[in-house]
């Protein structure tokens, strides 16, 4: 572990010690107000785990703030999972950038809509979902292909958003997306970023969807040469021509300012899982998940 990671680890330990002190106080208050020792112990364990998870998000943000090497992906300090075990508190943090995914808020742009169709084909999913997502965020009430607008959703008791999605969890209301489909799509879709795809983190399916001219040779050469520190180096990779590079150049990047943090914290018998979406400075949304 680098000296930088050690220093940050020490900071984390101090934070967790402070959490333990505060939690001890809360535990004492709760213990005095209940006759059930088992319940109070459960409350203590959950409170410690919960605040440790929240502290971990703050530590993750420190990693992101310190990242200034000019690209985002493999080789960054935040790229590798962060794992700590301190005085019974186990903590793991996994940070991924959101720019390696397709931004559904770009679907009103025909170029991106075609890209989405190719992505869903690559994922062997019904392309009608792409149309339904577009209809969910666009401002009109005209059905796209086999999508869905107000008439469909009114039968379910609600209406489409008709504006840019602020959270990916919103698409659970979209036609054709159930819990299982959402879990799969959450690895490929986002609501954050400019729409440019980070070549250092995008899946093979999304890289193939950048253009009809993209083939597996070109995509594999990107993946094998990650991290791409300079975008212009792509045109020299196997499977690329200058024409193909300049065709996809407006759609790609090697940087990102939006991230997903998946945190697991445990103490005693309690486990807390948090998912947070952030930029480099603050939390944009977060929730406790099962």
Q: What is the mean pLDDT of the chain?
A: 89
What CATH number does residue 39 fall under?
A: 3.30.1300.30
Q: Do residues 60 and 120 both lie within one domain?
A: no
Q: Does residue 18 surpass a pLDDT of 80?
A: no
Contacts of 7 (CB under 8 A, 6+ apart): none
Residue 16: which of 40, 42, 50, 43 has the closest Cα? 50
* Alpha-carbon gap, residue 192 to 97, rounded angstroms: 10
Q: What pLDDT does 1 receive? A: 47
* Alpha-carbon gap, residue 48 to 270, rounded angstroms: 9
Q: Does residue 178 surpass a pLDDT of 80?
A: yes
Q: Do residues 88 and 157 both lie within one domain?
A: no
Q: Does residue 74 surpass a pLDDT of 50?
A: yes
Give yes or no for a contact between 198 and 208, defined as CB atoms under 8 angstroms apart: no
Q: Do residues 239 and 120 both lie within one domain?
A: yes
Q: Do residues 117 and 93 both lie within one domain?
A: no
Contacts of 53 (CB under 8 A, 6+ apart): 91, 263, 264, 265, 272, 273, 274
84 confidence band (pLDDT: 50, 70, 90): confident
Q: Do residues 93 and 108 both lie within one domain?
A: no
Q: Does residue 30 surpass a pLDDT of 60?
A: no
Q: What pLDDT does 44 receive? A: 83
Q: Do residues 247 and 111 both lie within one domain?
A: yes
User: 240 is in which domain, residue-wise?
Assistant: 102-253
Q: How many structural domains compose the chain?
A: 2
**Tokens 């445990």 found at:** 266
Q: Does residue 93 surpass a pLDDT of 50?
A: yes
Q: Do residues 194 and 273 both lie within one domain?
A: no
Quick: pLDDT tens for 226-265. 999 999 999 999 999 999 999 999 999 999 999 999 999 9
φ/ψ (deg, to 5) at 35: -100, -5
Q: Does residue 225 surpass a pLDDT of 80?
A: yes
Q: Does residue 184 surpass a pLDDT of 50?
A: yes
What CATH number does residue 245 fall under?
A: 1.10.40.60
Measured CA to CA in angstroms, residue 7 lies from 81, 85, 117 at distances of: 16, 16, 46
Report, as an integer, the average pLDDT of 177-188.
96
Which range among 18-32, 133-147, 218-232 shows the weakest confidence by mean pLDDT? 18-32
Q: Do residues 109 and 246 both lie within one domain?
A: yes
* Alpha-carbon gap, residue 147 to 255, rounded angstroms: 33
Q: Does residue 217 surpass a pLDDT of 60?
A: yes
Q: Do residues 268 and 164 both lie within one domain?
A: no
Which range among 32-36, 126-130, 206-210, 270-274 shows the weakest confidence by mean pLDDT? 32-36
Which range among 10-19, 37-46, 143-152 shows the weakest confidence by mean pLDDT? 10-19
Give yes or no for a contact between 95 and 78, defined as CB atoms under 8 angstroms apart: yes
Report how far Cα 68 is from the mean position of its chain's Cα atoms.
Answer: 20
Q: Do residues 109 and 195 both lie within one domain?
A: yes
Give yes or no for a contact between 59 and 82, defined as CB atoms under 8 angstroms apart: yes
Higher pLDDT, 87 or 142: 142
Q: What pLDDT does 86 receive? A: 83
- Paired residues of 266 in beta bridges: 90, 271
Q: What pLDDT does 14 receive? A: 55
Q: Do residues 269 and 237 both lie within one domain?
A: no
Q: Residue 90: enclosing H or E segment and its boundaries?
A: strand 89-97
Q: Do residues 74 and 152 both lie within one domain?
A: no
Q: What pLDDT does 50 receive? A: 92
**And the tokens for 114?**
């075609």
87 confidence band (pLDDT: 50, 70, 90): confident
């Amino acid at each position: 572990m680098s000296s930088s990671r050690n220093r940050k680890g020490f900071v984390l330990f101090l934070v967790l010690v402070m959490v333990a002190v505060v939690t001890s106080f809360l535990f004492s208050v709760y213990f005095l107000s209940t006759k059930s020792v088992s319940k109070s112990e459960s409350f203590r364990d959950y409170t410690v785990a919960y605040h440790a998870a929240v502290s971990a998000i703050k530590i993750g943000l420190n990693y992101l703030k310190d990242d200034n090497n000019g690209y985002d992906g493999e080789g960054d300090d935040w790229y590798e999972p962060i794992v700590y075990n301190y005085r019974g508190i186990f903590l793991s943090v996994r940070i991924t950038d959101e720019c390696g995914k397709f931004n559904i808020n770009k679907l009103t742009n025909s170029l991106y809509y075609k890209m989405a169709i190719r992505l869903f084909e690559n994922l062997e999913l019904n392309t009608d979902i792409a149309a339904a997502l577009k209809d969910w965020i666009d401002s009109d009430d005209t059905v796209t292909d086999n999508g869905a607008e107000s008439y469909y959703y009114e039968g379910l008791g609600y209406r489409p958003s008709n504006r840019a999605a602020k959270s990916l969890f919103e698409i659970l209301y979209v036609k054709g997306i159930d819990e299982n489909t959402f879990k799969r799509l959450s690895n490929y879709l986002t609501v954050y970023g400019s729409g440019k795809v980070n070549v250092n983190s995008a899946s093979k399916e999304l890289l193939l969807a950048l253009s009809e001219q993209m083939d597996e040779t070109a995509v594999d050469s990107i993946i094998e040469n990650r991290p791409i520190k300079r975008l212009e180096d792509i045109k020299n990779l196997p499977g690329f021509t200058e024409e193909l590079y300049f065709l996809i150049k407006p759609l790609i990047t090697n940087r990102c300012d939006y991230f997903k943090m998946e945190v697991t914290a445990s103490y005693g018998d309690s486990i807390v899982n948090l998912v947070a979406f952030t930029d480099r400075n603050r939390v944009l949304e977060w929730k406790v998940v099962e």
